[in-house]
Amino acid sequence: MAYEKINECFLVTDLYYSVEDNTWVRVNDDGTVTVGMTDVAQSLAGPILHARSKKPGTARKKGRPIGTVESGKWVGPVKSPVSGEIIEVNEELESDAQMLNRSPYYKGWIVKMKPDNLEADLADLVTGEAAVEAYRAKIDKEGITCTHIEGTETPEA
Amino acid sequence: MKSKKKVRWIDAGEVSALRSQAIYHALAYARNEESPDTIVFVRPAEPYVCIGYHQDARKELDLNHCRSFQLPVIRRETGGGTVFIDNMQLFVQWIFAPEHLPRRAGTRFQYFIKPIVETHRQFGIKAAFHPPNDVHVNGRKLVGTGAAAIGNAEVVTGNFILGFDFDRMVGVLNVPGECFRRMFADSLEKYFSNLGRELGAAPPAAEIRNAYLEHCKAVLQRPIGKGYFTEEEEQWIQRIEQKFTADEWVFPEGKTAEVPARRLVKVHADVWVGQCTWRSKSGGELTAVVRLRGKRIDAIRFCESVEMDPPYKLEAFEKMLKHTPFEREAIEETTKVFFELHSVRSENLIPEEFANALVKLKSLTAAAPFSI
């Protein structure tokens, strides 16, 4: 799996990213997308205690919350990087929310969605080298260094 | 993170329980590019119970108790556990542009807590930041906090506790039984404090507010000026009040009302109270309530009669377990040593079973906390 590491923050380069909202999109073969939060997002939040997603069948506009996470006593939304319908949620997060910290790009995926207009939404996201550059700028500007809890599954492994 | 713009402060005074929660949510949702960063002070006129965003009121609270004492139950959008709030608390609420606060949640709490710590110190209390997001004095919790990204704002809340009605608070929590409730009450008494308790009498709220604002100026390094809610913010407050009184908000669908047999409740960052019940191979069910401090047993109480010969040794056993590391081997070993040392025999307290049952509580450490 191709990845980049910037200030200890992992970035899987074949994903599409909303750099502003710290979310990623994986385009699946059947036209659906898998959505999750980035390594930067889990680092800024800290160890996550609760994660809750909207139910399958929920229609979401881009930028609207598809779920919430709670770390310590802070609660924040996970904003959808695409418009569409939630078709599946990662139920494992209900009992093991720290999966979001340990495996943000793989086992810690949040929802699967059937996008309304994927092409248009992907045009607003960045991938590959453009994503690396955008994140490098963000990480430098905001002085972010990623941290990982015990048991983290990194792309290096 | 730096901004030089003036911070607005608003003293909303004494308001209804509902409004004391609605204000900061409303200001966050109403926030736009022109909105100033705002610090709100508010005191609820009547007591109420407030649960964290991810909590389930039916699971966390004794709703019959809340109803009989006419305690409103409000679910907020910030994190953390159940809180009992009354007129003896001065709420401080920050509603800021996200870019004006530290990005990392842990650092943001530390930043928010600094002027609260300094204010307590100014009044002669040796308060200190206690990671990740509390204020302690001599091992006792003085202040709790909560935070959330709401609308276009980052919100952080905390409180100055002038005095606290421990008895009223203990009643609101849904606990497995009276044995647990007694231990929990003892724990609050032992591990919580407030301005009134530390100083003999709490300073007036206005004095606390003014001192706190000076410390905010120093921490934020920005001018701070008194302000008022805008018309739009007032409208948002009413909108949020409607939202928060709807049953589907307080009791969202899909939540469970199940009260687990094993229960572990957070008293503060280092202290937990747990209960476990187990069936001995020799027959009979035993229940123990244990208080943990750090990685050790701080107190333990058996809730039913344990067959012990001689019977009066049970209390000595509970004392001996104090400070034992909360590890299966250590608990089993301490139990065996006690039996041998005091020539005690027991039909139903088997060291291995007892140790196994207790350490199962470890699996519950991520349970929703209860805290002030």
Residue B329 Ramachandran class (φ > 0 left, ψ -120 to 50 alpha, else beta): alpha
The domain boundary residue, chosen from B185, B216, B250 = B250
The domain boundary residue, chosen from B194, B224, B250 = B250
* Contact A147/B at CB under 8 A: no
Q: Among B78, B24, B29, B84, which Cα is nearest to B54's?
A: B78
pLDDT tens-place string over residues B93-131: 999 999 999 999 999 999 999 999 999 999 999 999 999
* Contact A139/B at CB under 8 A: no
| Average confidence (pLDDT) over B53-68 | 92
When the pLDDT of each residue in chain A is averaged and rounded to a whole number, the result is 94
DSSP state of B223: -
Q: In chain B, what residues touch A74 (CB-CB under 8 Å)?
A: 78-79, 105, 108-109, 146-149
Residue B361: per-residue pLDDT: 83
A73 → closest Cβ in B80, B104, B254: B80
Do B293 and B180 fall within a single domain?
Answer: no
Using the beta-carbon criterion (under 8 Å), do B148 and A52 form an inter-chain contact? no
Residue B367: per-residue pLDDT: 46
For the entire predicted model, the pTM comes to 0.89
Residue B326 lies in a domain: yes
Do B161 and B20 fall within a single domain?
Answer: yes
Residue B371 lies in a domain: no
Q: Which residue has the higher pLDDT, B152 or B310?
A: B152
Spatial separation of the C-alpha atoms in residues B369 and B81, rounded to whole Å: 5
Residue B10: per-residue pLDDT: 98
* Contact A68/B at CB under 8 A: yes
Contact between A121 and A62 under an 8 Å Cβ cutoff? The reply is yes
User: How many angstroms away from the CA of B215 is the closest CA of chain A?
Assistant: 23
Spatial separation of the C-alpha atoms in residues A37 and A27, rounded to whole Å: 15
Residue B371: per-residue pLDDT: 41
Residue B128 lies in a domain: yes
Residue A102 has pLDDT above 60, yes or no: yes
Contact between B287 and B300 under an 8 Å Cβ cutoff? The reply is no
Residue B136: per-residue pLDDT: 96
Assign residue B104 the CATH number of its domain: 3.30.930.10
Spatial separation of the C-alpha atoms in residues A48 and A114, rounded to whole Å: 27
Spatial separation of the C-alpha atoms in residues B326 and B358, rounded to whole Å: 8
| Average confidence (pLDDT) over B134-155 | 94
Q: In chain A, what residues touch B77 (CB-CB under 8 Å)?
A: 75
Number of domains making up chain B: 2
Residue B257 has pLDDT above 60, yes or no: no
* Contact B98/A at CB under 8 A: no
pLDDT tens-place string over residues A32-68: 999 999 999 999 999 999 999 999 999 999 999 999 9
* Contact B345/A at CB under 8 A: no
Distance from the first to the final alpha carbon of chain B: 30
Contact between B136 and B372 under an 8 Å Cβ cutoff? The reply is no
Helices (H), A19-127: 39-45, 92-95, 99-102, 118-123
Reported confidence tier of residue B259, pLDDT bands at 50, 70, 90: low
pLDDT tens-place string over residues A64-88: 999 999 998 899 999 999 999 999 9
pLDDT tens-place string over residues B212-222: 999 999 999 99
* Contact A46/B at CB under 8 A: yes
B148 → closest Cβ in A50, A75, A98: A75
Using the beta-carbon criterion (under 8 Å), do B132 and A72 form an inter-chain contact? yes
Spatial separation of the C-alpha atoms in residues B62 and A36, rounded to whole Å: 36
| Average confidence (pLDDT) over B154-183 | 91
Using the beta-carbon criterion (under 8 Å), do A73 and B108 form an inter-chain contact? no
Residue B370: per-residue pLDDT: 42
Report the relative pairing of strands A33-37 and A111-115 from DSSP bridges: antiparallel
Residue B48 lies in a domain: yes
Both structure tokens of A6: 């910037």
Looking at the domain that runs over A3-142, which CATH code has it been given? 2.40.50.100
The domain boundary residue, chosen from B250, B284, B312 = B250
pLDDT tens-place string over residues B312-362: 788 889 999 999 999 999 999 999 999 888 888 887 888 888 898 888 887
Q: How many CB pairs under 8 A join A and B?
A: 67
Both structure tokens of B204: 């007036």
Do B65 and B214 fall within a single domain?
Answer: yes
Residue B77 lies in a domain: yes
Residue B2 lies in a domain: no
* Contact B147/A at CB under 8 A: yes
Residue B127 lies in a domain: yes
SS3 of B163-174: the string is: CCCHHHHHHHEC
Residue A151: per-residue pLDDT: 86
Closest Cα in chain A to B105? A45
Assign residue B301 the CATH number of its domain: 3.30.390.50
Do B208 and B276 fall within a single domain?
Answer: no
Spatial separation of the C-alpha atoms in residues B360 and B357, rounded to whole Å: 5
- Lowest mean pLDDT, pick from A75-89, B8-22, B55-69: B55-69
Residue B151: per-residue pLDDT: 94
Using the beta-carbon criterion (under 8 Å), do B147 and A144 form an inter-chain contact? no
Do B235 and B329 fall within a single domain?
Answer: no
Do B274 and B175 fall within a single domain?
Answer: no
Do B44 and B171 fall within a single domain?
Answer: yes
Residue B255: per-residue pLDDT: 52
- Lowest mean pLDDT, pick from A129-138, A143-152, B39-48: A143-152
Q: Quick check: helix, strand or coil at residue A5?
A: strand
Q: In chain B, what residues touch A22 (CB-CB under 8 Å)?
A: none
Reported confidence tier of residue B254, pLDDT bands at 50, 70, 90: low
Reported confidence tier of residue B168, pLDDT bands at 50, 70, 90: confident
Do B275 and B243 fall within a single domain?
Answer: no
Q: φ and ψ at B195, to 5 degrees?
A: -60, -45
Residue B257 lies in a domain: no
Which structural domain, as residue segments, surrounds residue B147?
A: 7-250
Residue B307 has pLDDT above 90, yes or no: no
Using the beta-carbon criterion (under 8 Å), do A73 and B52 form an inter-chain contact? yes
CB burial readout A77-115, b (16+ within 10 A) else e: bbbbbbbbbbeebbeebeeebbbbbbbbbeebbbbbbbb
Do B58 and B196 fall within a single domain?
Answer: yes
Closest Cα in chain A to B99? A142
Q: Which amino acid is at B75?
A: R
What residues does each domain of chain A span?
3-142
Using the beta-carbon criterion (under 8 Å), do A70 and B133 form an inter-chain contact? no
Using the beta-carbon criterion (under 8 Å), do B146 and A45 form an inter-chain contact? no
Q: Which secondary structure element, helix H or strand E, spans residue B341, and what is its range? A: helix B328-341
- Lowest mean pLDDT, pick from A94-98, B93-97, B201-205: A94-98
Do B267 and B203 fall within a single domain?
Answer: no
Do B68 and B191 fall within a single domain?
Answer: yes
Residue A37: per-residue pLDDT: 97
* Contact A56/B at CB under 8 A: no
Residue B304: per-residue pLDDT: 77
Q: Give which of B56, B96, B100, B103 to mutate to test A binding, by max A Cβ within 10 Å.
A: B103
Q: Give which of A39, A73, A89, A101 to mutate to test B binding, by max B Cβ within 10 Å.
A: A73
Q: Quick check: helix, strand or coil at residue A125?
A: coil
Residue B366: per-residue pLDDT: 46
Q: In chain B, what residues touch A64 (CB-CB under 8 Å)?
A: none
Q: Quick check: helix, strand or coil at residue B273?
A: strand
Do B242 and B267 fall within a single domain?
Answer: no
Looking from the CA of B269 toward its CB, the CA atoms found within 13 Å total 18
| Average confidence (pLDDT) over A113-136 | 96
Q: Which of 2-41 (A) contact B at CB < 8 A?
A: none
Q: Which residues pair with A9 in a beta bridge?
A: A6
